[in-house]
Amino acid sequence: MAAVVEMSNVTKTYGEGSSIVKALDGVDIRIKKGEFVAIVGASGSGKSTMMNLIGCLDRPTTGVVKVAGEDLSELNDKKLTSLRNYAIGFVFQSFFLLPKTDALDNVATPLFYRGVPAKEARFRAMEMLTKLGMEDRYSHQSTELSGGQQQRVAIARALVTEPSLILADEPTGALDSKTGKQVMDLFADLNDEGKTIVLITHDLDVAKRATRRITLKDGKVINDERDKK
Amino acid sequence: MNILIAARLAFARILATKTRSGLTMLGIIIGVMALIALVSVAQGATSGIQDQFKGLGARNLTITGTTNQSITVDDVIEIAREPGVDIVSETVSGRATISSNQASTRAQVIGVDSDYKTVVDPDIFVGSFLPNVENTKDARLIVLSSSLASDLELDAYSINSTIAVGSTEFTVVGILDDADGFGSRGSAYIPLDTAFKYVAVPPYLSSITVQTINEEIVPEVTANLTSLLKARHNISGEREADFVIVDASQLLDAIGTVQQFLSLLLGGIASISLVVGGIGIMNIMLVSVRERTREIGIRRAIGAQQSQILTQFLIEAIVLSLVGGIIGVIIGEIVAYFLAQLGEWNFALSPTMILASLGFSMFIGVVFGVWPARTASKLKPVEALRFE
């Protein structure tokens, strides 16, 4: 099956000269369509850098990162932005809903940026909110929603573009354990539907819900294990 | 991104940050208000004068001698024979000391013929203008401008009283309403023949006012009279004429120029405050971009192109300046209305002025919104997302 994410011998360094920091050091991984992967590691292990690269927010210093078949190093800002819009559905730790914007338009915004007419974008956003049980909250702004509800809206926003992969950065980090479990159940259901999911987390209990765990330490992959089918 | 969505978002932000947006818009509001009010003052004040001149007769043209001995009563006879000329009225003038029982002052004494009343149609405050005295050789009747009357400490009850011009006694028959008579301040009017006797030397005149049979013919008559008088005064080739012919349209043009100049001057001053208002917008937009770095990061992450971020912030700046402009127009017109009441000129809404003001405030929004918007669009998604 085609790889959604392909990293070959990837390094990423920050800074210059003596203050140079190697965030990733020779990473090789392939994530295939339909996988549910957790990228695990302590803080400073290179998790965030992995997230930025997989999320097409940044380019590697050396090596090749391909997302949905596109080599990030060969794309200009415009094409990279476009790739993010089409290939990645972001779910952030602190939800990152847009301020002064209701739930419906929050979900519809990635479609607006893609040029989908407002009416159609809102229709599809409403469908997605309905799927996640948030249809009666469509006119609420983020300040009027609980954490769990905000994360559902954020997941709806990630799903509405039908991306190649859902990239979730500590999605339960700001939620209580009960709501966190509900969100993880939702990810598991989505994976059962065939969605590719990449979780970035330091929480091993959360990581256990994934079917594959890639462990990072000091910018290197030190463990890559799959659940047995 | 759809411009409507960006505009709606911009309005939502303005409503959410009312105090800040209000203060930001204040610069534009004051600028546009000043622009509308000052330009309306310039136009209102001068259009009053223009209206007076229109009333004064667009059919009239005035010939004035450039020296004391340029035009004569014989010229008048020839001018009256020209085609297109309806009425000819001549005046002479001199300065004399005028004394009432209470006071005394130097003033211009103008001798006018019996047609002057028809041609110039002066407004009477009290009494009447000079009666027809063509058959009387020494009619010592006088009409005073109201400012001269007040200089002489005369009032409405002074009609038929006696005042002295030099050492000769005259009877006051009327006092004019100066407010309407342009250039007649501090003047006294006496019959032409009497004037030749006491304040002027015949046959020389100071001015001739010609009323033509209609407005359209004025330029043609002006040309004919110019060549007639040049021939009579033996002026040929490059030599400068010893008279000037002015018609109402020239005066109107001159006033129009003054009006334009005043409008530009006052409008220019007001525009400076608009530009200052624009700087206020730029300042607050830069703050806003910084505060919303995270939001920009989120938008970039979920697929906003740089151009779409730029558009969003530019539209916010334009909405701010345009809303400020609209409020400024409304307040400005109200101020202009009250100024018009105060200055007693006509108040008129000028659609051109309103559109120009709104256009200008929009332009200010674009000019001063570009930099903050560019700053926003150039933020790196990774760093913007991390921003606390």
Residues B320 and B232 in one domain: no
Residue B133 has pLDDT above 90, yes or no: no
- Under DSSP, the state recorded for A18 is G
Residue B62 lies in a domain: no
Amino acid in the structure at residue B43: Q
Question: Which position has the token pair 């006033």?
Answer: B255
- For A182-228, the pLDDT digits (tens) are 999 999 999 999 999 999 999 999 999 999 999 999 999 999 999 87
Cα–Cα nearest to B36, from B277, B273, B261, B329: B329
Average of per-residue pLDDT values in chain B: 87
Domain boundary among B219, B241, B263: B241
Residue B22 has pLDDT above 70, yes or no: yes
Question: Which position has the token pair 């409304």?
Answer: B330
Residue B216 lies in a domain: yes
Closest chain B residue by Cα to residue A98: B295
Q: In chain B, what is the straight-line distance between the N-terminal and C-terminal CA atoms, in Å? A: 26
Residues B259 and B213 in one domain: no
Phi and psi for B153 in degrees, rounded to 5? 60, 40
Residue B248 lies in a domain: no
Helices A177-192 and A147-159 pack at an angle, to 10 degrees, of 20
Instruction: Assign B116 a pLDDT band (cuts: 50, 70, 90).
Output: confident
| Half-sphere exposure for B286 (CA within 13 Å, toward CB) | 8
Residues B134 and B205 in one domain: yes
Q: A78 contacts in B (CB within 8 Å)?
A: 305-306
Domain boundary among B241, B274, B301: B241
Average of per-residue pLDDT values in chain A: 93
With beta carbons less than 8 A apart as the criterion, state whether B173 and B143 touch.
Answer: yes
CATH among 3.40.50.620, 3.40.50.1000, 1.10.10.60, 3.40.50.300 for A3-97+149-226:
3.40.50.300
Q: B294 contacts in A (CB within 8 Å)?
A: 96
Residues B115 and B227 in one domain: yes
What is d(CA B106, CA B154) in angstroms, rounded to the nearest whole number? 15
- Chain A interface with B: residues with Cβ < 8 Å: 52, 55, 57-58, 77-78, 81-82, 84-86, 90, 92, 96, 98-101, 105, 109-110, 112-114, 117-118, 157, 161
Residues B191 and B290 in one domain: no
Collect all residues with Cβ–Cβ distance below 8 Å to B154 and sequence separation of at least 6.
B100, B102, B144, B161, B163, B172, B175
Q: Among A33-47, B14-28, B121-135, which is the least confidently predicted range?
A: B121-135
Q: For testing the chain B interface, which of A43, A50, A57 should be mutated: the one with the most B CBs within 10 Å?
A: A57
Contact A81 B306 (CB under 8 A): yes
> In 3-state terms, what secondary structure has residue A201?
strand
Number of folded domains that form chain B: 2
ipTM of model = 0.95
Select the more confidently predicted residue: B122 or A150.
A150
Domain with B352, as residue range(s), is 3-52+253-386
Residues B183 and B103 in one domain: yes
| Half-sphere exposure for A123 (CA within 13 Å, toward CB) | 5
Residues B261 and B145 in one domain: no
Q: A55 contacts in B (CB within 8 Å)?
A: 301
The string of DSSP letters for B323-341 reads HHHHHHHHHHHHHHHHHHH
- Tally: H helices and E strands in chain A: 7, 10
How high is the pLDDT of residue B134? 72
Closest chain A residue by Cα to residue B383: A57
Q: Which of A88-102, B46-60, B194-208 has the highest mean pLDDT?
A: A88-102
Residue B114 lies in a domain: yes
E-strand ranges in B148-206 read 162-165, 168-176, 187-191, 204-205
CA distance A227 to chain B (A): 31
Residues B304 and B374 in one domain: yes
Contact B9 A78 (CB under 8 A): no
Contact A98 B385 (CB under 8 A): no
Residue B61 lies in a domain: no
Q: What's the rounded mean pLDDT across residues B270-298?
A: 92
Q: For testing the chain B interface, which of A113, A141, A150, A161 should be mutated: the one with the most B CBs within 10 Å?
A: A113
Contact A86 B304 (CB under 8 A): no
- For A143-191, the pLDDT digits (tens) are 999 999 999 999 999 999 999 999 999 999 889 999 999 999 999 999 9
Q: B305 contacts in A (CB within 8 Å)?
A: 78, 81-82, 113
Residues B275 and B154 in one domain: no
Q: Which two tokens stand for residue B9?
A: 């978002």
Domain boundary among B209, B241, B273: B241
Select the more confidently predicted residue: B77 or B133.
B77
Strand partners, A32: A3
Q: Find the CB nearest A85 among B295, B302, B385.
A: B302
Q: B295 contacts in A (CB within 8 Å)?
A: 98-99
Instruction: Assign B378 a pLDDT band (cuts: 50, 70, 90).
Output: very high
Domain ranges for chain A, please list them. Answer: 3-97+149-226
Residues B346 and B303 in one domain: yes
Instruction: Assign B376 a pLDDT band (cuts: 50, 70, 90).
Output: very high
| Half-sphere exposure for A119 (CA within 13 Å, toward CB) | 0
Q: For testing the chain A interface, which of B11, B15, B20, B302 should be mutated: the one with the most A CBs within 10 Å?
A: B302
CA distance B21 to chain A (A): 15
Residues B237 and B267 in one domain: no
Residues B39 and B153 in one domain: no
